[in-house]
Structure 1
Amino acid sequence: MKFDNGKVKDVQIAYIGGGSMYWAKNLIADLALDDQLSGTVRLYDLNYAKAKSNEKLGNSVSDYAEAKSKWTYKAYETIKEALTGADFVFISILPGTFNEMYSDVHEPEKYGVYQSVGDTVGPGGLVRALRTIPMYVEFAQAIERYAPDAWVFNYTNPMTLCTRTLYEVFPKIKAFGCCHEVFGTQGLLARMLGDLEGIEGVHRSEIKVNVLGINHFTWLDHATYQGTNLFPLYRQFVEKYYEEGYENKKDAWVTNTYTAANRIKFDLFKRYGLIAAAGDRHLAEFMPPWYLKDQDTIRKWKFSITTVQSRMDKHVETEQWYNKLISGEEKLPLKHSGEEEVRQLKGLIGIEEFVTNVNLPNTGQMKGVPMGAVVETNAVFSSDSLRPVIAGELPVEVNNLVLHHILNQETTLKAALSKDKHLAFLAFVNDPLVRIDRDRAEELFHNMLTNTKNYLPGWRL
């Protein structure tokens, strides 16, 4: 990297999963809209043709009149080429195909087990982890070999186990997991200020929060706006909207399966007195089947199962639009994605120091959970440094819920690394959503592993 009058040039970013039609375009736009950084994005993907497409798209965007910086995009056929010389590494992949995802989400429904997302916990999250962990073992080994000093940004789910695997394989890696779910809750609190206090135009970054928990099961025990404690106001907000829910657009959850009315978030506040800082679709999967008992219960809580068919339909639409971008028939709109990767880059480079939530191994920032377990808390970004902020400890009744999943994820990691089917099954039946008898659970587990066997090399199924 080269520093020149407050600008940093020749930043080298390796992007594993660089053939993406989704996150890649957000990254391309975010980088183009910043005027302090420039350099090269080195794209690596198992589908080299897709990486070449993003090379073309990224280079075309750099020529847009409204682009504030020029980045060079280059596709590489090997991970070695992409990583060698990289200052930063981004990992954002889809572990498997829609066939495996369909099994993750919908095979359990045959046994009365429902999941709204199926990518973090629950039977689907566990099986997804089993096929993702071997990939992350290879990524960690490659990073240790070719870019040991690079900072690694992980965006793939299951976030906790992907990040945990990187550290298990390469303990000295400088990696962290990035998720925007807390941002959404800060945004909700900003809208609450408008609704109850008439304070409009508050940006979510103005809501200061203390974050504790694990990815997609994060909690806030402190939230302020300009020094004012927001918990009393949130209690009023919950009482006002508990039954009908609160959305940007009324009943959006009915037609958009990626949204919810926040009723689960409100219910968890009434139960535990803390603000659950993730979307309802994720929160529901960490609890017993209070919210996912059956389709009627799901509708009652005003959220939906994000079906794999809906994802496939979205994929077709995205691919059609993406092809128009690649051909030049349409231009990529340059707008900020809402992610923080550019600001995080600047923090680690030393341009600015700031605090945000990330997923890191526990070195004492969160009490009441094992050291080394990956937790989500705030951390300080500064020059070549990421320092966790002491977050404290969750109340026992909430910590028990979080700890249950941490220990289960540790069992899942051990099972994946040792290819131990029995150990994986013990984690499977220990998930709060798997409330079926053992024989049926064994049958479901066997079916799900069989459906994802192409991604389980060396397993005896």
Structure 2
Amino acid sequence: MNQNPQNLKICYIGGGSRNWAWVFMRDLTYERELGGTIYLYDIDTEAARANEIIGNRLMEEHNRGQWKFRAEPSLERALEGADFVLISILPGDFSEMAVDVHEPERYGIYQSVGDTTGPGGLMRALRTIPQYQRLAQAIKQAAPDAWVLNYTNPMTLCTQTLYAEFPEIKAFGCCHEVFGTQKLLIKIMEKYGWVPKGTVHRKEIHTNVMGINHFTWIDRASWKHQDLFPLYQQFAREYAETGFDEGGDDNWMNNFFASCERVKIDLFNRFGLIAAAGDRHLAEFCPPRWYLESPEQVRYWKFTLTPVSFRIQQREELKKKSRAYQEGKETMPVHHSGEEGIRQMKALLGLGDLLTNVNLPNRGQMPDLPLGAVVETNAFFSRDSVQPVITKGLPAEIRTLVLHHLTQYQGILEAARERNLEKAYRVFLNDYQIQKLSPQDARELFTSMTTKTLPSLGEDWGGYR
């Protein structure tokens, strides 16, 4: 590892991002122990150049210039000798994502996110895996010793692809969904008078995490050695029908990313473990008749189907913000996101140990799931080391659901690496949501989705070039 934490090289793939890249920039303004140069690589070179200007201005204002941002149009030069590589990309564009999410609606299939599982997640994976194959090979050639932090969905398959292409890679997937559940536990403690409002930080909530990304489960949760499961059980009984709504304008009816936690509560009442992701993600991993049979059923469970039109509108607003930041007409507000990427890097540099949840190949930390499959558990970070925490595994009734998705992931990974559309279709046919269709309708949907999304990437997909 780099012996000088003030002279790091970080390669940010997807460096033109107006989401995760900006989050990372803002978090860096609080960091005083690290410094160096961040190389921003993006297929949209102008977006990367915009972030170079924005990032450097932000560092000059808030960080004494410890970090320099540099847009780099060459992936190889951006990677060469990097200490850390961050990846947050959108595979394709929102036009492809609109197909992922909305094309299945013509067949009565509804998705609340559409980027991890279900027909949308599987189609997104077919676009993403070839890109991650190339990224893995580029990292192998230019930065084989770098630590790689992946933020792209589908998280499990992106991380799995990196290891399939470059088994010695030092990569892990980062997701904040568990953080939201830890924050919910604090709200429950406040609700029942255990602690005054605003006095407990998320880091004080200790949870044992296990499962796969966006379908993670907690079998132990505590605060200062006090077991939180009895409290959560009381909460789940009280709010099973109404859901937990704090009120205000930012509720599930006004915010596409909010919910009343009814799916999470229902899963706890079914299985006895705390489902540790947002309701929109959790619902997609379950048989569709549970939560996603219709828009009316979604409203009953008090979460939302996020339309891609909203994401497109949000992108246009962020483009305007980017121009205003570049021209100095507006100043980017600074606040810490609560993400742990920088803390993870510091731990890997030997600047303090860290225990947190990450996605890694299964080397026994999930003894009931296939070895090598990417799973999400806690892991211990120390100098140049990430060691997953061993769990006792999931109850059989939850493991059955998880194994279905891991099997789907393995099939879609094989199909994508072989560029075999027929094999991909066979996997697609076994998806929980697709099983409600006749084989003829499933074939029509698959053909429509692949025809509309794969050719734009220029991949050799069974005749698509």
Task: Please give the per-residue CA displacement for 1:179-217, whole angstroms capped at 9, x wherever unaligned.
Answer: 000000000001100001341321111110111100000
Q: Is the 8 Å Cα contact of residues 252 and 303 (structure 2) preserved in structure 1?
A: yes
SS at match of 2:296: helix
Separation of aligned partners in 2, 1:133 and 1:268: 31
Structure 2 partner of 1:364: 364
Deviation of 1:456 after TM superposition, in Å, equals 5.8
Deviation of 1:242 after TM superposition, in Å, equals 1.4
TM-score, structure 1 as length reference:
0.97
Deviation of 1:140 after TM superposition, in Å, equals 0.1
**Structure 1 residues 439-450: aligned runs within 5 Å:** 439-450=440-451
| Matching residue's letter, 2:58 | V
Structure 2 partner of 1:202: 200
SS at match of 1:128: helix
Structure 1 partner of 2:245: 247
Moved more, 221-230 or 153-162: 221-230
Deviation of 1:248 after TM superposition, in Å, equals 3.7
**Structure 1 residues 183-222: aligned runs within 5 Å:** 183-200=179-196, 201-222=199-220
Separation of aligned partners in 2, 1:9 and 1:183: 29
Separation of aligned partners in 1, 2:97 and 2:259: 21
Q: Is the 8 Å Cα contact of residues 37 and 69 (structure 1) preserved in structure 2?
A: no
Separation of aligned partners in 1, 2:44 and 2:227: 49
Separation of aligned partners in 2, 1:249 and 1:60: 38
SS at match of 2:208: strand
Structure 1 partner of 2:94: 98
Separation of aligned partners in 2, 1:319 and 1:198: 44
Structure 2 partner of 1:137: 133
Separation of aligned partners in 2, 1:3 and 1:221: 39
Q: Is the 8 Å Cα contact of residues 357 and 376 (structure 2) preserved in structure 1?
A: yes
Separation of aligned partners in 1, 2:245 and 2:425: 38
**Structure 1 residues 27-426: aligned runs within 5 Å:** 27-64=24-61, 66-67=62-63, 70-200=66-196, 201-249=199-247, 252-289=251-288, 290-426=290-426
Separation of aligned partners in 1, 2:459 and 2:389: 39
Moved more, 306-315 or 167-176: 306-315
Deviation of 1:419 after TM superposition, in Å, equals 1.1
Separation of aligned partners in 2, 1:94 and 1:248: 33
Separation of aligned partners in 2, 1:335 and 1:83: 29
> Which stretches in structure 1 are left out of the alignment for 5+ residues?
none
Deviation of 1:3 after TM superposition, in Å, equals 5.6
Separation of aligned partners in 2, 1:208 and 1:69: 36
Aligned length: 457
Deviation of 1:220 after TM superposition, in Å, equals 0.4
Task: Please give the per-residue CA displacement for 1:209-242, whole angstroms capped at 9, x wherever unaligned.
Answer: 1111000000001111111111111010111111
Separation of aligned partners in 1, 2:22 and 2:113: 23
SS at match of 2:6: strand
Separation of aligned partners in 2, 1:249 and 1:321: 29
Structure 1 partner of 2:457: 455
What is the RMSD computed on CA atoms of the aligned residues?
1.2
Separation of aligned partners in 2, 1:21 and 1:88: 20
| Matching residue's letter, 1:148 | P
Separation of aligned partners in 2, 1:67 and 1:243: 48
Task: Please give the per-residue CA displacement for 1:95-121, whole angstroms capped at 9, x wherever unaligned.
Answer: 111110000000000000000000000
SS at match of 2:291: coil
Q: Is the 8 Å Cα contact of residues 365 and 389 (structure 2) preserved in structure 1?
A: yes
Separation of aligned partners in 2, 1:177 and 1:27: 15
Deviation of 1:69 after TM superposition, in Å, equals 5.8
Moved more, 40-49 or 449-458: 449-458
Separation of aligned partners in 1, 2:131 and 2:224: 44
> Which stretches in structure 2 are left out of the alignment for 5+ residues?
none
Moved more, 277-286 or 242-251: 242-251
Q: Is the 8 Å Cα contact of residues 32 and 70 (structure 1) preserved in structure 2?
A: no
SS at match of 1:101: helix
Task: Please give the per-residue CA displacement for 1:146-168, whole angstroms capped at 9, x wherever unaligned.
Answer: 00000000000000000000000
TM-score, structure 2 as length reference:
0.96
Change (3 A) 1:239 1:100: same
| Matching residue's letter, 2:394 | L
